[in-house]
Amino acid sequence: TAEVQCSPWRKNACCSVSTSQELHKDGSRLYNFQWDHCGKMEPACKQHFIQDTCLYECSPNLGPWIQQVDQSWRKERILDVPLCKDNCQRWWEDCRTSHTCKSNWHKGWDWTSGVNRCPAGATCRTFESYFPTPAALCEGLWSHSYKVSNYSSGSGRCIQMWFDPDQGNPNEEVARFYASARTSGAVPCGVGALPLSLILVLPLWLLG
């Protein structure tokens, strides 16, 4: 159920119980962000956005993809997190009939009411209209916070939004792999000179 979507991270999380509870609500005070900005979002679609937020707020395994940015509302962000291709495909398939008015949700909203509204001139259309492919959704939605991986869940080479916590957190292995590759120079560095030990434990709430 939606109330327990963040539970996979309960054994090692960077978010509080109250944060987890809040992000499951429509019109959550966490961001004042309305998923239903173009009518009611389908429940199957909304669960992916809740899971996406759980990953962002609660996962301790995104350190290798933290980037420094110079923006008024944040100083750090995640960039090109290798999202498992099956997770992205399912997200797109479950959302293709829901509606939105923008292809980039990071910016360009009308916030004059205190919550996000479609900007003047924007038209509500299906997700499939704004995001014609799974990659268009997963990579474009949050300004390339994700990059669709060629790998699938269980490979140990891509981040899973969905996993069974009773089988352990597969993203721990993924973070170790990319952090190790990055410190050896095999992967373009995205976290500067941060030591491997810090990359592996850096709490996601520091993304600000």
Contact yes or no for 158/82 (Cβ under 8 A): yes
Instruction: Report d(CA 27, CA 116) in Å as an integer.
Output: 10
In this model, does residue 19 exceed pLDDT 80? no
Instruction: Select the more confidently predicted residue: 17 or 201.
Output: 17
Q: What one-letter code names the amino acid at 28?
A: S
Q: Which pLDDT belongs to residue 95?
A: 98
Is residue 108 scored above 80 in pLDDT? yes
Select from 63, 90, 91 the least CA-distant residue to 77: 63
Which residue in 153, 184, 169, 174 sits closest to 65, CA to CA?
174
DSSP letter at 73?
Answer: T
- Residue 11: the pLDDT is 72
Q: How many other C-beta atoms are found inside a 10 Å radius of the C-beta of residue 62?
A: 23
- pLDDT tens string 139-175: 999 999 999 999 999 999 999 998 888 888 999 999 9
pTM of the model: 0.79
Q: Is the pLDDT of residue 73 over 50?
A: yes
Domain-by-domain residue ranges, the chain? Answer: 7-180
3 state DSSP class of 117: strand
Rounded distance between C-alpha atoms, residue 110 and residue 103, angstroms: 15
